[in-house]
Amino acid sequence: MKYIHLGRSGVLVSRVCLGTMNFGSVTSETDSHKILDKAIDNGINFIDTANVYGNKLGEGVTEQVLGRWFDSRTNLRDKVFLSTKAYCPMGHGINDRGSSAYHIRSAVDASLKRLKTDHIDLFILHHIDRGIPNKGDIAVWNIDKPDVIWPKHLNPITRFEEIWEVMESLILQGKISYVGLSNFPAWAIVQGMEKAIRRNFFGPVTVQNMYNLNQRTDELEIIPACREYGIGYTPWSPLAGGLLAGALEKYKSGRRASLRTEILNNQQKLEKWEELCSTLGYSPAEVALAWLQHNPIVTSPIIGPRTLEQLISNVKTVDINLDNDTLNEINKIWKPMGEAPESYSW
């Protein structure tokens, strides 16, 4: 395994991060523990989860799976750099979601209990807080559909002044060590950093957004913002939900029917992509992950293996070297966005 600093922080994390979204729902607890053990054996020290993972409202299923794993392995917790997230609904209560100080405090305490640990290494805001739909000054809440929370207004409801104040408090209490942002736009990342600087607060050390060869929007402004502020970048969905993992070949053999529309819409690209990967002697998934690791702003792609075989294949990517000619060929297939404003003006 290879390691890299998480953004401008002093902590070193593995070049791949083990994502656990499938644990306890798609992947059984027994198999999840086997994957976790194998990840540690292969040098992965960066594990990512979220309080909402597990598909059961308010239960934190995946965090509980991790907690029982930590509890059953002696002296393992301090070998892991653990991140979790909060924002999404965790109950039917009006304050059981969001980024308010009220909710963040309760979310951290609940995650600590489920994870069976006394500290979270990286606490991430799962989404920008747009609030809930409202009429005038009165919040409207559908108790039967707590996930229907998208508002009609544009500005964030919870301000960074409130968020950073509670984060500072939690750090002083030893409950969390670092903070991060997920699914935030560039303007909000910049706003958050500038307000952190004014408070003499370290601010976010990582941004976790969707980024892969088929979705390169973050190249416009988010990746440049991360570079400017020394923020690590940990992309989720590095394989575009399986599209970049040999989907065309699998579709032709009768698999990946769920991706039919995307596969057919990208068929010419996928034909060239899978042919190039075959020429290189690696699987499409391996090349897609290796491509991400060639970006100096990318800290660790978040992998989500469902099996031990997928995990081992993902780990191998840290040793794959793609030369400039190969990177140029990849860019011919999957067009780069470029950086703003040069990409759309001048």
Q: Would you tell me the crossing angle of helices 61-72 and 101-115 to the nearest 10 degrees?
A: 40
Evaluate the CA torsion angle 208, 20, 22, 330 in order and state its sign.
Answer: positive
Q: Of 236, 239, 246, 248, give the one whose Cα is nearest residue 214.
A: 239
Annotated catalytic residue: which of 3, 53, 282, 344?
53
How far apart are alpha carbons 243 and 190 in whole angstroms? Answer: 31
How far apart are alpha carbons 276 and 306 in whole angstroms? Answer: 25
Residue 154 CB partners (closer than 8 Å, separation 6+): 130
Number of H helices, E strands in the chain: 12, 12
How far apart are alpha carbons 32 and 82 in whole angstroms? Answer: 16
Q: Cβ distance 120 to 127 under 8 Å?
A: no
How far apart are alpha carbons 89 and 58 in whole angstroms? Answer: 7
How does DSSP classify residue 323? -
How far apart are alpha carbons 65 and 106 in whole angstroms? Answer: 20
E strand spans, the chain: 3-5, 12-14, 17-19, 46-48, 81-86, 120-125, 134-135, 138-139, 176-182, 204-208, 232-233, 302-303
Residue type present at position 279? T
Catalytic residue at 3?
no
Q: Cβ distance 210 to 201 under 8 Å?
A: no
Catalytic residue numbers read: 53
